[in-house]
Amino acid sequence: MARDPGYLFLYGTLLPGRVPLALRSAAAQLGTPRPAMVRGRLYDLGRYPAAVPDEGAGCWIRGRVSSYTNGAILTELDRYEGYDPRNPAASLFVRRQCEAVLSGGGRLTCWVYAYNRDPGAGRLIRDGVYRGDRLRQ
């Protein structure tokens, strides 16, 4: 696996205020989230969003970047996201590296949980911002 960048891009249920109770202790180990965006598409699949990062996309996924110092939290987050590093093909999401653009203009390499299936009937979130239940129109 690639070198650990020490940053994680958050765009959905791992955003502050949305973290499930079972992950609160892991989320508490993340640094202060900073506004950022990653090139790609974001879909509403009903119960959760699905990011499909794509450096060539003309649209953005908007979220936050947090730092971490304890790489062991990734194991807990991998389990939550349905990612098995030993069997990525069977994983619901895969953790992969991408480039995030910070709101202040800087760039950094970070992990993102990318959807590992065809989003199919998922609704494209055109503005790239996951709003949970408020997405329903």
Residue 1 lies in a domain: no
Q: State the residue range of the domain holding 66.
A: 7-135
Domain-located, residue 27: yes
DSSP-based three-state secondary structure for 22: helix
pLDDT at residue number 73: 93
pLDDT at 133: 56
With beta carbons less than 8 A apart as the criterion, state whether 99 and 112 touch. no
In a domain, 22, yes or no: yes
Which regions of 29-92 does DSSP assign to beta strands (E)? 34-44, 49-53, 60-67
Q: Whole-prediction pTM value?
A: 0.91
Asked if residue 2 is part of any domain, the answer here is no
Number of folded domains that form the chain:
1
pLDDT digit of tens for each residue in the chain (137 aa)?
567 889 999 999 888 888 888 899 999 999 999 999 999 999 999 889 999 999 999 999 999 999 999 989 999 999 999 999 999 999 999 999 999 999 988 999 999 999 999 998 899 999 999 987 543 33
102 torsion bin: left (phi>0), alpha (psi -120 to 50), beta (else):
beta
Would residue 48 count as lying in a domain? yes
The CATH number that applies at residue 127 is 3.10.490.10
